[in-house]
Chains A and B, each alone.
Chain A
Amino acid sequence: MAEIAFRNVTKRYKDTLAVDDASFTVAENEFFCFFGPPLSGKSTILRLILGLEKPDAGEILIDGRVVNDTSPAARNIAMVFQNLALFPHMSAADNVRFPLKERHEPPARIEARLKDAAEKLHIGHILHKLPGQLSGGERQRVAIARALVRDPAAYLMDDPISALDARLREETRVELKRIQREAGRTLIYVTHDQEEAMSVADRMAILERGAIRQVGRPVDIYDNPATTYVARFLGSPVMNILATRRMGSDYEAAGRALRVAAEDAVAGAVELGLRPEDLHVAPWEGGGEPATVTEVEPLGGYTVVTLKAGDQPLRAMLRGQPEMRVGAQVALSCDPAKVIYFGAGGAALPRVRGARQ
């Protein structure tokens, strides 16, 4: 149970800036997720929390205490590494016992904790095997058990389930969430899978080249991205971000196919952001300018339609399996309240009154 905070932490490797003046606070018992593309500094942040790297500037705090010079062992944080890092010369049971043995726990307690962790992760039947004899999924469970077996201040996990197949990944992330809730511990999680990040995290931070761009609840970030980078990065299919200009009483985008009345929009908008599910598509019945359907992807519950309007590609996500032909002409519309308005430089502009919260 610990609060973990960064105060203006910077870390450089030779010429690259791995973490750029990062500040954040992870609250007690929170499931906190770092989400960013490869090399955005996610893993470096975990290594800094663990004490495997020293920051070049700034302070790292665990429960309000600066731990910049504390050794990894003394920080009392458990970690599941991206490549799992099991000890190949020890059986699964010895791998799980290791953290307790190194802390000189009494043998009876070690065995009890081992049994407990093995039960939680369903690995009781493979404890006698060496890591080399286990499947990828089993190894991953052993690695998580090794982290869970003791009582650390916080758990850190660096994309621990990326090697699993999609179905097992979904199961495991639900299980992780449950384990975290039951253990009542802070869990800091790193992933590059946006669905995973959104599904498990209480709060998340979005990283770009070592800098934290936005911190908040996943749905809040989804609904109110602070910049076009965040808007594009979170959400699939990607948010439509359309250059816009004011023509008379309207803001026009995508050629002239999409219009928002100026009184509904935010003054000074340079780009409009519109989630694919918020872009409405209707048969064109003359008037205004049409968009052309260029691709239709029926995905069962919904259909993703790629459109082209004024040389601008757009994507719309429609419920069910609507009748849609490639080449068809359609009319575009949207609810002005669902549009995100970006100013010059890509920062979101404050919303008008009545926009969705």
Chain B
Amino acid sequence: MTRSLAFMSFRYAAILLAIAIVLVPVLWMASMAFKPIEEWQATGADLTWIPRAPTLDNFRYIFGRSTSDLIVTLDKTALKPILASFLSAGIGTILAMTAGTSAAYGLSRFGSGANLPLALVQLRLFPPMAVMTPVMIMWAFLSFTDSWWGLALVYGIVTLPFAFWLMKTFFDDMPKEIEEAALVEGCSRGRVFLKITLPMMRAPLASAALFVFILNWSDYLIALLLTTKQWVTIPVYMASLSSSMTGQLYGAKAALGLIAAVPPVVLGVLIQRHLVRGLTFGALKQ
């Protein structure tokens, strides 16, 4: 069926618009990250897409090497927040994936009743703000606040439902006969999980972990409430990048934003090969 020219033009226009809405701010951020202060403070006709005098000053500035033309110095470099983000998001992801995968496997294979999975969904239906203040009080009581492990623990709990539901879908989709074949051929239940199920689940595990990691990595609210000084994460630190003299330090923010975008993109590219491959490709008859 051939479609009319008008329809096709509309279609491509719509696609271009969608791409532009997504890409323009990202590209603008990338451009701003390399602009000196005069350029990112410019307005009107002075705005350019390509920096006229590209510089790494913004990066130097957030790592404390140079104050460039800004009179203020930062009381803290971006190094510690980057470390904090990696530790809390990374460990949080490991916690959520370990607990979520175990729970999903157990419930998918031996679970009875639908109440527990539903209860885990309700965790997400609850507004996070409603629980975060009590959690903050609890964490303060336990002296968990302003630490990467306290944050990682909350991240692990908050993203557990996602890890659980993603993995449960994958486990439910896996034909039970593959595990049964291993049981019949002499494996114990534990060995079946280690030798058959986990290796088959490499791709699903990788994609679920990436999803959970991105959730943790981009969190602002929880980190804002639970960290104050020592272990603020990238988003919290970014918000603090302003000065009384120059207002918002957009160049520095853009530089930090660019750095923050790197890990999810790199991880995504690394596991993309796994994402396209089917789960049980070749295990069954056709």
Contacts and interface: CB of A to CB of B under 8 A. Distances in A.
Interface of A: 50, 52, 71-73, 77-79, 81-89, 98-99, 102-103, 130-134, 136, 139-140, 146, 163
Contacts of A52: 180, 183-184
A103 B191 CA distance: 13
Nearest to A133: B282
A81 B282 contact: no
Given A81-B177, A88-B281, A98 B185 contact: yes
B47 to A, nearest CB: 53
Contacts of B187: 73, 102
A133 B286 CA distance: 11
A132 B181 CA distance: 18
16 contacts: A72-B183, A72-B184, A73-B183, A83-B177, A84-B284, A85-B283, A85-B284, A86-B181, A86-B282, A102-B187, A132-B282, A134-B282, A136-B286, A139-B282, A163-B285, A163-B286
Nearest to A52: B180
B243 interface: no
B182 A84 contact: no
Given A50-B184, A52-B184, A85 B282 contact: no
A85 B281 contact: no
Nearest to B188: A73
Interface of B: 175, 177-178, 180-188, 191, 196, 199-200, 202, 280-286
B284 A83 contact: yes
Which 3 residue pairs of A and B lie closest in terms of their CB atoms, listed nearest first?
A: A132-B282, A131-B282, A102-B186
Contacts of A77: 184
B113 to A, nearest CB: 13
B178 A87 contact: yes
A77 B202 CA distance: 30
Contacts of A73: 183-188
A54 to B, nearest CB: 14
A84 B283 contact: yes
A99 B200 CA distance: 18
A79 B181 contact: yes
A132 B284 CA distance: 9
Contacts of A85: 175, 177-178, 180-181, 283-284
Most A-side CB within 10 Å, residue of B175, B181, B183, B280: B181
A131 B285 CA distance: 10
A88 B186 contact: no
Contacts of A133: 282
Contacts of A50: 180, 184
Contacts of B285: 83-84, 136, 139-140, 163
Contacts of A72: 180, 183-184
Contacts of A130: 282
A140 B286 CA distance: 10
B198 to A, nearest CB: 10
